Structure 1
Amino acid sequence: MCNLYSQTKSQDAVRHLFDNMLEQDEDLVDATGNLPPLTDIWPDYPAPIIRHGEGAAWALTMARWGMPTPAKFLEGKRTDKGVTNIRNVGSPHWRRWLGVEHRCLVPFTSFSEIDGRRGAPRNSSVWFALDEDRPLAFFAALRTTWTSVRKLKEGEVTAEIFGFLTCPPNAEVAPIHPKAMPVVLTQPEEWRRWLTAPAEDALKLQRPLPDGMLKIVAEGVREDAV
């Protein structure tokens, strides 16, 4: 389960990358304000997403990481901290958010998994990126606006929230975390397909990144500050 990632590129870099997908009549509206490098994004932290906006526009906006938890797991609990990783999209809980209006992209530069290798230090993070320069890519994700109590001290809030899809791991991730990895999209045609295609077609993108496309770029640290 990926519960920590980074996004250290500028808003301009995110916009420039997403421009590769835009058609002539489309635009990306930036509502993130002054976005600093985010070297350690944890569950419930605010982070940038790209989602459908008004008319022909797309929106780059902030959302909190963690979709609503299924009700059966909230019995006896006073808060809903959210679900960060979404695997079983066939579940009735998740099917309600598979429409295009709830699909989004999450920009990232690296993501971490807890090191599951024999002899590894407890809770030690291993960071993956497309290469040592940490180029931008996107997670395939779902989003919604939800009212809940995420933290007792905060009380009930209505917030835009997101969680990204996971899939079986590829060759680089499997030795570290054999259960899953995030769904990573690197090509403009994949971004458009995820954001606009019928659910049956879009969900075919819930697949591992091809072997050889990820590198381990850091180990044993709780943020990727490069």
Structure 2
Amino acid sequence: MRIAPPDHDRLTRLALETVSEAAAEAQEQIVDVTWGIRLALRWLMISGVIKDWHVRQFVEAIGSPIRDAYNPHVEWRSRADVAARFVDFCHQQLGLPCGFGPPQRHRERRWYDEMLDPDTGRAQPWLMCNRYRPGERETIRQHFGAKMWRETNDGPAIVHPKDPGWVVRQVDGALVLDQMTWGFPVVLTGRRGQPLKPKPVNNARMDKLGGFWKRWTGPEHRCLIPAMAYAEAVGPSGEMTTTWLSIRSMPVFAWAGLWRDSEEWGPVYTGVMTDNAPELAHVHDRSPVILAPEDWPTWLSGPADGLAQFDRPWPAADVIVDATPVRWRDGGR
């Protein structure tokens, strides 16, 4: 039942403001459901604005960890919309103008995936490349002139975070082809301080290499990630399709990467990203750092203070854009 405007009091408006702020924050990250938020929800329920099932749904939407490891972007966007609709419903019940108000700008941003910023442990508000085609093992080995480091299975045709993927690194001056898990594990803690399941951080921003990533920017931790194409999600939430990007002049190219040994998953690697070329910004605002063959030695063994020269996109004129009708949620095949 809708409450008449004269029945509004300061506590109800304060409660509405509290849940509105929580819903706005949920557009960007998982929210810590504080006692203040719970008290606000309780007051709105006592006031007859919402029911207990509204509370459960809202708390689930803003505060629970993302469960869908394969399509987290879909779950994330769906939850953010639930939180926004909850606030609109409260406004309607109170006879107030609908709309998310100032936080509307959050809802207009493109949220495609739950990517962790290792500096903060929070989800990043940008999707980095999180699937790519590496190509055949022998083709890769010959292209890079590398020796097999150890015998392994071929791995998937399309690599997703936590999948095994090929990595070229330098050992005693020679290039070797190794297989590692894609994504540095980052272990967060739950509300009670308990360790949560590790999350893969499969991309490192070039402009962040001086922070969290600095310990792995030495030559001993640099690598090349062989790829034939990488994918981006394009389109509105729920209707995103897969766009593949490849390099016209290089059927197999080298994506700048970092690697390390981890206790959780063994050897792991991550790809370095930079701002995209303006001509390709409609696909995504970032792109992998792609290295020309003559730049491989510098990336693998040059001084760390010289890496900034690679903070640039590959020329757009040499990039092939293949926009497919394949839904992103289906794995981008």
With the length of structure 2 as denominator, give the TM-score of the two structures: 0.54
Structure 2 CA distance for partners of 1:134 and 1:40, relative to 1, 3 Å = farther
Find the partner of 1:50 among 168, 193, 214.
168
The structure with the largest alpha-carbon Rg is 2
Secondary structure of the residue aligned to 2:308 is helix
Structure with the bigger percentage of helix? 2
Find the partner of 2:209 among 84, 89, 101.
89
Tell me, in whole angstroms, the C-alpha distance in 2 between the residues paired with 1:188 and 1:13: 15
* AA in 2 matched with 1:142: L
Following superposition, the deviation at residue 172 of structure 1 comes to 4.8
Find the partner of 1:201 among 287, 306, 312.
306
Q: For the Cα contact (< 8 Å) 2:156–2:163, is it kept in 1?
A: no
Q: For the Cα contact (< 8 Å) 1:3–1:43, is it kept in 2?
A: yes
Aligned residue in 2 for 1:101:
220
Aligned residue in 2 for 1:61:
178
Report % sequence identity: 28
Tell me, in whole angstroms, the C-alpha distance in 2 between the residues paired with 1:145 and 1:168: 28
Count residues with an aligned counterpart.
Answer: 196
Q: For the Cα contact (< 8 Å) 1:107–1:137, is it kept in 2?
A: yes
* AA in 2 matched with 1:125: T
Secondary structure of the residue aligned to 2:294 is helix
* AA in 2 matched with 1:110: A
Query: 1:64-79 to 2 correspondence within 5 Å?
Result: 64-69=181-186, 74-76=188-190, 77-79=195-197
Secondary structure of the residue aligned to 1:95 is helix
Structure 2 CA distance for partners of 1:32 and 1:212, relative to 1, 3 Å = farther
Following superposition, the deviation at residue 126 of structure 1 comes to 0.8
With the length of structure 1 as denominator, give the TM-score of the two structures: 0.78
Tell me, in whole angstroms, the C-alpha distance in 2 between the residues paired with 1:199 and 1:162: 18
Tell me, in whole angstroms, the C-alpha distance in 1 between the residues paired with 2:153 and 2:202: 21
Q: For the Cα contact (< 8 Å) 2:181–2:267, is it kept in 1?
A: yes
| Uncovered stretches (5+) of structure 2, i.e. residues with no partner | 1-127
Tell me, in whole angstroms, the C-alpha distance in 1 between the residues paired with 2:228 and 2:155: 10
